[in-house]
Amino acid sequence: MTDMIVLNSIPDDVIKKVVARLHPYRNSLHELYRWPLRGALKTEIINARFNTWTPDWVRSLRGQEHKSIYKQSIALRDYLYEELNGEMSYERRTKHAAWIVGDWGGISIKKDGKSETDLFDIITSVEEDGFQFKRVASWSKYFAFKSPQEYAIYDERVIYSLNWLLFTADSGCNYYLPSPGGRNTVMNLFDYSLLIFIRHGDLGYKYLTDALKQDVELRKNSRSKSSLLKKLKNKIYVKNNKSYSAYLEIMNAVADALYDKDDSKRLLKTEMILFSIADKDIPLEVLSEYKNIGV
């Protein structure tokens, strides 16, 4: 895989502000983290994915349903860390990857050999050729499970929360992260892209007005789709092919300041917080910000 890029433009005080915003949540993950695990462990799901073979870690997790979702999730990560870093046949590794991405992660992966092999081909491509934006929400799940101290999941909810915190820390920043797609209805409703463009020092109302007029004029006599959003994002968002490297750099900086350096799960916990606040706390802040500007 490729080395991380250096975001020379991100000031230390921005990281400090993001950390300060996340600090109240750092010890609340037992109550905060609610991504359900039980459904992915159902007998019919496991049998269909693993061809009636039940892995030992599944049996172990089924005995922990009385624990919090957070504790179950940590146990899952621990079990699969050992599993994925041990000896395993290609077939079983593809099955595990498909379960992580599809059954646990909620991304559609058919329970057939071709879909599972196609997924693992992308994972192998990333291992051999470096990070790519194509299906980043899928392959990053596998690497986050296999090497949790090095990688985090590039999830739509995490990106939604992180970009908002970067915006509130520095509205003029040029290191917003592109969306991998797959937003839920809440995030779609409380989209804040326009706020980012309006508040950015290199853009603003006048720039947006002129850019919109120009875009309309260019498409006046054609059926071509608007490229305005893409042009705006190109100015202040990290390029797609650099997005995962930039994401890891920001996440590591935040995690190192938010948790003790000897906490091996600091990157995972930071990801879990950002994931968890995307459905409520961040949308409420977005709504409040729109109210403040009189929308």
3 state DSSP class of 293 = coil
Question: Cα separation of 256 and 149, whole Å?
Answer: 11
94 and 120 in contact (C-beta within 8 Å)? yes
pLDDT digits (tens, 9 = 90+) for 169-216: 998 899 999 999 888 899 999 999 999 999 998 899 999 999 999 999
Instruction: Report the candidate in 155, 194, 187, 149 with the shortest Cα–Cα distance to residue 171.
Output: 194
Instruction: Report the candidate in 35, 79, 9, 54 with the shortest Cα–Cα distance to residue 278.
Output: 35
**Secondary structure element (H or E) that encloses residue 113, with its range:** helix 113-129
116 and 94 in contact (C-beta within 8 Å)? yes
Tell me what the pLDDT averaged over the chain comes to: 93
Q: Inform me whether the pLDDT recorded for 223 exceeds 90.
A: no
pLDDT digits (tens, 9 = 90+) for 13-63: 999 999 999 999 999 999 999 998 989 999 999 999 998 889 999 999 999
| 224 pLDDT tier (thresholds 50, 70, 90) | confident
Strand partners, 176: 237
Model pLDDT, residue 138: 97
113 compared with 279, residue with greater pLDDT: 279
Question: Cα separation of 165 and 33, whole Å?
Answer: 19
Q: Inform me whether the pLDDT recorded for 114 exceeds 70.
A: yes
